[in-house]
Structure 1
Amino acid sequence: MLQVKNLNKSFGQMQAVSNESFTVNDGEILGLIGQNGAGKTTTFRMILGLLKPDAGSVFWNGHPFTRKDQDIVGFLPEERGLYLKMTVEEQVVYFAELRGQKPAVTKQKLDDWMQRFAVKGKRTDKIKDLSKGNQQKVQLIATLIHEPKLVILDEPFSSLDPVNASLLEDGIERLKSQGSAIIFSSHDMGNVEKISDKLLMLRQGETVLNGVTNEIRESFGDTRIFIQSPLTAEELLAIDGVLSVKKYQNGFELKLANPEVGKAVFAAATKDGYIREFSQQPPTLDEIFRMKAGVSHE
């Protein structure tokens, strides 16, 4: 279990992280979100001891996290870095050995991990001969192959297409099932919402959201409706408390002033009987992010 307690870090007059606290249990995934410069990478570096906090503490299983705990960590930095003249096997074996895993064990696992991430290339290929996408997969394998108990991934989904993003999600979920505590940052709210048990959002170093992902969404109320009915957009917008109506596929998306407005919408839509769809939900994580970060939807 990772515990972060009251971390603070400033650089000159800039407060990068302010009084940050959270816990990631074994077998749990925390999504760390925020705009560029919000303090995500600074947080990771303080956890790993690469930056010394001005105040606060980091604990692993109840004791202060130190460099002696580095072997249980799998860290993927935002700045990718591989030795281009090494082969895939040499590269992965080298990084795994730095984390205390014997070369013979790594070599035995490597084919399975390459297949799992659908790497297009052989273990004897040099890194420089792989595409950028496959180089990124090799670095992910090097981060995870020693099956770390604490996994920290800084923008792991960056530049991955949907198929490869799904492969990475599967890899993260596998480590979760084996009991690893996992933190990752991402600008893709779809990834965060899909796999995160908990959510932490930073804005200019301040914590603005912290808790269970579903509970955070539900705390904003069921203010979105997806509906297919005979009602027109004008008729829906005329209902008191409907803030906006947007056409999508064969129906509409409504945004409400408050969840109670849904009752009036449902009554109007079903006055003549059956309708094909009525789904009332909380805002998406992307919408919540934009609200809390002060980013326009337009």
Structure 2
Amino acid sequence: MASPSTPILEVRDVRKQYAQHTALAGVSLSVPAQSVFGLLGPNGAGKTSLIRIITQITAADAGEVFFRGEKLNPSHIAHIGYLPEERGLYKKMQVGEQLIYLAQLRGLSRADAVQRIKKWLERFEIKDWAKKNVEDLSKGMQQKVQFVATVLHEPSLIILDEPFSGFDPINANLVKDEILRLKQEGAAIIFSTHRMESVEEMCDSIALINRAHKVLDGPVKLIRNQFKTNTFEVEGQGRLLVVHPDFEVVEQQERENGFFYARIQLHARTTPNDLLRYLIGPGAVEVHRFQEQIPSIGEIFIRRVRETMPETLVEETA
């Protein structure tokens, strides 16, 4: 039996080739239990190929995948829920009957399925649509139904591929809250998306795949700190004049009524307190805001993708 510290999923040196196309070139990653894990990458990077291997839709050419410390095998399918980017519901079937059918495929009895479906439809505010055909639902409501079908059997690993696609902000927040609730109840969620603001808000850890290779992974906070440049944003009032060997003004703007904005980079072995003391020293400026500029996951994503592109592609996209 796996210990509580055992990752729910480990991918070790997985490789996948389709004819002349390399989809995965030795990808390894580890998904902690009870966490939200962001699987990121541009289109065609290899994310979907990896998801299909984890869900046993296809097999890896080489490498291994472990679920709760055991080599991945068909028995684990019952513990995984998968919401693909390309949705697939039977449009002529009633919502309730369809959910019962899909739940029974996952091993639930009809009675258990009905009980769970009732709770989920109430939670998603679509209980009045249980006897409607799927084709009569809006795209957003259909996506809610497919999300319910993904989690009805209470999987311990949930894989969501672009779960917010097509949702308005209210329903996106509703789904986000449910994802976080499922995490709190013990599930691990692999979350594949292009919405970097969602990654920033929800993910504990991420892995970035580009051109079949993993190019970055780790906890979100640690990754952001790794990419910071020791640059601080300063806003205030007065005449900003920085003449000091330990500080470099990267950007400066003069604003109305004597206000200013600046980005100042600290050199090695210089602390934020050193800069702040210099700014507010005798005859200096009045500081209204002083904040370290730490890159967002979206900025890091773009930077790492560009760094790992062949030079010819970089020139074409520049």
Q: Which of 192, 198, 204 matches 2:211?
A: 204
Query: Is structure 2 residue 164 aligned with structure 1 residue 157?
Result: yes
Change in Cα spacing, 1:65 to 1:264, as seen in structure 2 (3 Å) is same
Letter in 1 for 2:294: P
Query: Is structure 2 residue 277 aligned with structure 1 residue 270?
Result: no
List aligned pairs for 1:69-88, cutoff 5 A.
69-88=76-95
- Equivalent pair of 2:81/2:159 in contact (CA under 8 Å): yes
Unaligned runs of 5+ in 1: none
3-state SS of paired residue (2:65): strand
Change in Cα spacing, 1:70 to 1:252, as seen in structure 2 (3 Å) is farther
Unaligned runs of 5+ in 2: 1-7, 308-313
**What is the number of residues matched between the two proteins?**
295
Q: For residue 111 of structure 1, what is the aligned residue in structure 2? A: 118
What CA distance in whole angstroms lies between the structure 1 residues aligned with 2:173 and 2:237? Answer: 37
Could you tell me how far 1:13 is from its partner in structure 2? 2.5
Query: Is structure 2 residue 182 aligned with structure 1 residue 170?
Result: no
- Equivalent pair of 1:120/1:134 in contact (CA under 8 Å): no
Q: Render the CA deviation track for 1:76-107: whole Å, top value 9, x for unaligned.
A: 01111111111111121111111112221121
Q: Which of 136, 156, 179 matches 1:129?
A: 136
What CA distance in whole angstroms lies between the structure 2 residues aligned with 1:11 and 1:195? Answer: 33
Q: Which of 209, 215, 221 matches 2:222?
A: 215
Could you tell me how far 1:119 is from its partner in structure 2? 3.4
Q: Render the CA deviation track for 1:211-241: whole Å, top value 9, x for unaligned.
A: 1111111111254544431258x968x9963
Change in Cα spacing, 1:200 to 1:283, as seen in structure 2 (3 Å) is same
Larger radius of gyration: 2
What CA distance in whole angstroms lies between the structure 1 residues aligned with 2:159 and 2:291? Answer: 36
Letter in 1 for 2:11: V
Q: For residue 288 of structure 1, what is the aligned residue in structure 2? A: 300
TM-score by length of structure 1 reads: 0.87
3-state SS of paired residue (2:86): coil
Q: Over aligned residues, Cα RMSD in angstroms? A: 3.0
Change in Cα spacing, 1:244 to 1:90, as seen in structure 2 (3 Å) is farther
Letter in 2 for 1:6: D
User: More displaced, 273-282 or 160-169?
Assistant: 273-282
Letter in 2 for 1:193: E
3-state SS of paired residue (1:275): strand
Q: For residue 195 of structure 1, what is the aligned residue in structure 2? A: 202
Could you tell me how far 1:267 is from its partner in structure 2? 4.9
TM-score by length of structure 2 reads: 0.82
User: More displaced, 140-149 or 62-71?
Assistant: 62-71
What CA distance in whole angstroms lies between the structure 2 residues aligned with 1:43 and 1:153? Answer: 13
Could you tell me how far 1:23 is from its partner in structure 2? 1.5
Query: Is structure 2 residue 58 aligned with structure 1 residue 48?
Result: no
3-state SS of paired residue (1:229): strand
- Equivalent pair of 1:223/1:283 in contact (CA under 8 Å): no
Letter in 1 for 2:163: P
What CA distance in whole angstroms lies between the structure 2 residues aligned with 1:258 and 1:82? Answer: 57
Q: For residue 279 of structure 1, what is the aligned residue in structure 2? A: 291
What CA distance in whole angstroms lies between the structure 1 residues aligned with 2:90 and 2:252? Answer: 52
Q: Work out the percentage of aligned pairs sharing the same amino acid.
A: 36
Could you tell me how far 1:73 is from its partner in structure 2? 1.0
User: More displaced, 130-139 or 9-18?
Assistant: 9-18
- Equivalent pair of 1:224/1:283 in contact (CA under 8 Å): no
What CA distance in whole angstroms lies between the structure 1 residues aligned with 2:197 and 2:302? Answer: 13
What CA distance in whole angstroms lies between the structure 2 residues aligned with 1:163 and 1:140? Answer: 16
